[in-house]
Every structure is written in C-alpha cells, then in structure tokens.
Structure 1
Amino acid sequence: MISTAFHAAIYDPLYNGLVFLVGIIPSHDVGVAVITLTIVVRFILFPLSKRAVAAQMAMKEIAPEIEDLKRKIKDRTEQSKAIFALYKERGIHPFAGVALVLLQFPVLIGLYFVFAHGGLEEIDHSILYFFVPAPGAVNSSFLGLVDMHSHSILLAGLAAVSQFIYTRLSMGPPATKDPSPVESSLSGDMAKSFDMQARYVLPVMIGVIAYTVVAAAPLYWLTSNIFMICQEYLSGRRFNLKQVTSNK
C-alpha cells in the first residue's frame, strides 16, 4: 500500500505527467514519455546538479591541500575537522552530490510503482488531474523494441554502462600509486575502497537491479545519466579552459 503522502507528492504527479506526455506525443510511445519526463525532472533539479558539479570541481582543485593536511595531522578526528574547515573556508558543499542522488530515488521508486501497478495500459481516471485528459491510445512498446512493463537486459546494460561513464567523468581517472613509500592509513584504505566500489561495483549493482524491475526504471536512469554526462562534459570543458588560461 502506497502511503497517502507518497501518493500525493510523488506517485500522482508522475502518473499524471506520463499520461499527459503520452497524450501529446504523436506515437503515444510510453518510452518516449519516460525520456521526456526524465529530462523535465533533470531540468527541475538542475540548480542542485550544478552545485554538485561545482563542488566536485572545487574538491579536485583543493585535493593537494587536503593531502597536505592528512600528512601534517595524524589524528583522524582533528584531520576531519581541518578538512571540513577547509571546505567551509572555500565555500564547498561536499554532500551536494549525495543530496542530488537521494532526491532521485523517490522519483525512481514512484516510476517503478506506476508500472508495477499496471502502468498506462488502463488509465486510472480516479487519480487524473482535472486538466489532464486521458490519451486516445497508449503504445507501451518503446520504439517498437522494448515493452515498458517488462524486463529489459538491453536497457539494464545501458544503464550500467552509462553509470560507469558518468562515474569516470565525475571522479576522474583512478589515482596512480605514489612511487615514494607512504605510510598507509585506515582513512586512505577506506578512500580507496570507496573509489573502487563507486567506479566498478555500483555500475554492476545498478545493472543487476535494473534488470529485475520494469524497463521504465532503467530507461529513466539511462536518460538521467546521459543528461548528467553531458552536463559534466560541458562543465569540465569550461573548467579545463579556465585552468589553462589561468596558468598562462
């Protein structure tokens, strides 16, 4: 049973948005409606997404300073305080990216429930807004290839690949090993473990989970990742250009 609050805040808006888009799309393609809805959601979240990208860039810039702090301060508690003080001094919000991911999960869960409860094959007129007309026809086959109510190994695989590419772009290439002998630390090992999980384990997990749910969910995730990859690439280009010109 979906709670009343979730129904009103997430489920109903998503359902009505999809019904509206299916009605105005010439082919009445549910998959195209999911892509369009995803782009709308990404534009709504764009201010937070922009802040997350800016935070990632700023953290890459101050990475050498953070390494200096880690070398100078051995106590982990004091080390964390010093790092967060540096973040505050530079106006960096290190958890902006986490907030962005957390905001996407209710949308993804809502989309899952929409299709898990019958999707759009039979329109539920009882939850339609007064200004959203029921479409004359509904085409659940995305581009004639994938049924949005079934599982899709193709979309699951593409979702996993897009997640890997986005993680690679946002985190940069894996850090090379320092040839000089450096004392290993628990925090350093944890950082390496997190890096490995984010780069390689997370995309695989997303691919596996995406295959177990209806195809609309991985299509949403794939579209969202493509949007963020484009944003990351364009922001990265501006950032790199700024770095080059500032070094001249």
Structure 2
Amino acid sequence: MINIFNEILFRPLINLLVFFYNVIPTHDVGLAIIALTVVIRLILWPLGQKGIKSQAALAKIQPEIEEIKKKYQGNKEGQAKALMELYSKNGINPLSGCLPIIIQIPVLIALWQVFLSGAKLETISGLYSFVAAPSNIQPVFLGLFDLTQRSVILAIVAGALQYFQAKMMMPTFAKASVNKPASAAGAPDFGQMMSKQMLYFAPILTIVISWSLPAALPLYWIVTTLATLAQQYWIKKRS
C-alpha cells in the first residue's frame, strides 16, 4: 500500500515540485509550491466546481431537510430514505463537496514528508531521470519565510482566508432560511446554526493546525483557498 502511494502520488508530486524549482529563475521553493498548487487546482477544478454547486444546492433545500428530520425524528431508517429521495430529486450528491478535500490529503502528506523536521528536497530519492536533483536548496520563500519552520503569519493568513471562504457561502444559507416553509417557522434551523459555528471554528482550527506544521503546508493551503475563493466567485457570477 505504501509503495502504491509513493509511485502514484508522492513520487509524481515530488518530481513536479523539484521540476518547478529547477525551471523558476529565482529558484524559490515557495514559488515552486505555488506552481505545484496551481497545477493541482486545475486538475481538481471540475471536482471543486461540482462540490461548490452541491453545497449551494444543499443550502437551498435545507428547510426541506430540517422538515424531514423533524418528521422522522427517532426513525433513522425512514429519515435516511427520505433524505436520499430528496437528494435524488434535486440531483444532489451530498458527498461531492468533500471529495476535493479528501483528494488533497495525499498532497498534504507528500508535502509534509518533504518539509517536516527540516527535510530538504535534495535529500529526496526517487526523482525521474529527466528531473535534475538540485545540489542546494534554500527553503526561504521571498526571503522572508523559512518553509521548513513554523510561521505564525502564514498560519493567520490561512485562517483568515478560510473565514472569507466560509463567509462567501453564508448568503446562500441566508436565502435558504428566508425561503423556509411557514410550517417550519419557529423551529431551530440547525443547518444555519452549524454553518455559523463553522464560520468561526474552521478558521481557528486552520490557524492551530497551520501553526503546528512547517510553513510549506500553510502556504499550500493559502494558495488552495485563494483558488477556491476565485472559483466560488466565478460560479456565483455565472449563476
């Protein structure tokens, strides 16, 4: 299983990262990570677009979801069946929003293995024959951030962007709440409550995790979140 992970995910990612480092004129490993992230986001663009649309669609039917939960309270089987029928009726896959995040986990693990404990790219084995091994790598991004060390600044930026990403989705949930059926008036809107909690919890968690990791990881997450924000804005403008 480890060999499969190395050959299919870790090795191609590391080779692509070293390739970008070699071809970037300034040989800035941070810029190489950004280039790698852009490539990954382009590959995941269709999945990300589907996930964002799925989240918006789920928000629109949130009142109906709450009605089903209320109607089938204590009947898990009936509730699950009714929810699946509702999802099918609206063409929604509730798991599609999680897929891009799940796919990115191996990328984070690969970058972790490279930069954790001050690892240097030139010590990585398994480079392809057409990828030259750098003789020396300076892990400092823009002359400011040592990507093998923790960075509170990058951690805070990652958390702030996570907040703006969640905030961008909030208007959709608000519209769903306004359109709630009269029969549900006065009932607790657990979906909206949960989204408001995640609005603050997710950024705090992002900061804590990013602060505990080498700065290469929050840098990757910053670029990923910026790409997601751009994608969300693009989809909103088109819809």
In structure 2, relative to structure 1, the CA distance for the partners of 1:79 and 1:182 (3 Å cut) is: farther
Listed as ranges, the gaps of 5+ residues in structure 1 are 240-248
Separation of aligned partners in 2, 1:35 and 1:211? 19
Runs of 4+ in structure 1 displaced over 6 angstroms? none
Partner of 1:58: 57
Separation of aligned partners in 2, 1:72 and 1:109? 43
Further displaced range: 74-83 or 204-213? 74-83
Trace 1:131-142 onto structure 2 (pairs within 5 A): 131-135=130-134, 137-142=136-141
Contact 1:159/1:221 (8 A) holds in 2: yes
In structure 2, relative to structure 1, the CA distance for the partners of 1:149 and 1:42 (3 Å cut) is: same
Separation of aligned partners in 2, 1:138 and 1:193? 47
In structure 2, relative to structure 1, the CA distance for the partners of 1:197 and 1:107 (3 Å cut) is: farther
Separation of aligned partners in 1, 2:185 and 2:51? 34
Which digits, 9 at most, give the CA deviation of each residue in 1:186-230, with x for residues without a partner? Answer: xx55x4563244211121111111011100000000100000000
Trace 1:1-248 onto structure 2 (pairs within 5 A): 3-69=2-68, 76-77=75-76, 78-116=78-116, 118-120=118-120, 122-124=122-124, 126-135=125-134, 137-172=136-171, 175=174, 182-184=186-188, 189=190, 191=191, 194-239=194-239
Count how many residue pairs are aligned between Structure 1 and Structure 2: 233
Listed as ranges, the gaps of 5+ residues in structure 2 are none
In structure 2, relative to structure 1, the CA distance for the partners of 1:92 and 1:181 (3 Å cut) is: closer
Q: TM-score under structure 1 normalisation? A: 0.82
Separation of aligned partners in 2, 1:108 and 1:50? 21
In structure 2, relative to structure 1, the CA distance for the partners of 1:34 and 1:12 (3 Å cut) is: same
Question: 1:167 offset after TM fit, Å?
Answer: 1.4
Q: TM-score under structure 2 normalisation? A: 0.85
